[in-house]
Amino acid sequence: MALIKAVTAKKGTDSKGDETIIAIVTLESGKSGSASPPPSFFNGLSEVERNDLVAKSIKTINELLSDKIVSLDSFQQARIDNELMSADDLDKESVLAKISVLTVSLANARAAANEKNIPLYAHIASL
């Protein structure tokens, strides 16, 4: 078992210098994984809209999604994804929900891979 100790999100900068989200999943062992959404999620948005979406996603991850998966086993990816998608007060069809859930899910997969000391692709292949 690799229990999730904390899930946090913060503002970061992508390779183009634009604001983005960084989600970090930390396990009780101290190992962690981080992820950011693909830049394509922000296509067509103005800088103001993008920055607003980033701020709302960080708030959604820190205040809503983190509580759903803290203390769960990081190796149980399907359960974690189901918990994230079943969060109350989350419009499942919104871009905000998709960005937030995808980013946390990928950060968890990376944390689990790091716990196993294997590459991410090998961990995903084992799911």
Please compute the mean of the pLDDT values over residues 66-88 and round it to a whole number.
95
Residue 85 has pLDDT above 80, yes or no: yes
For the chain, the farthest-separated pair of C-alpha atoms sits apart, in whole angstroms, at 43
Name the residue with tokens 């390779």: 15
d(CA 9, CA 4): 15
> For residue 119, what are its two tokens?
């590459």
Does domain 4-125 match CATH 3.30.390.10? yes
Which of 14, 34, 30 has the alpha carbon at shortest distance from 22?
Answer: 34
In the three-class reduction of DSSP (H, G, I as helix; E, B as strand; rest coil), residue 3 is classed as: strand
Radius of gyration of the chain (CA): 14
Structure-block tokens of residue 32: 């962690």
What pLDDT is stored for residue 94 in this prediction?
85
Domains of the chain: which residue ranges?
Answer: 4-125
What CA–CA distance (Å, rounded) separates 86 from 78? 12
Please give the mean pLDDT across all residues of the chain: 94
The 10s digit of each residue's pLDDT in 23-76 is 999 999 999 999 999 888 888 999 999 999 999 999 999 999 999 999 999 999
Judged against a pLDDT cut of 90, whether residue 15 lies above it is answered with no
Q: Residue 111: CB partners within 8 Å, gap ≥ 6?
A: 2, 4, 25, 26, 27, 31, 32, 33, 74
How far is Cα 15 from Cα 106, in angstroms, rounded to an integer? 19
Higher-pLDDT residue of 51, 91: 51
Query: Binning pLDDT at 50, 70 and 90, where does residue 123 land?
Result: very high
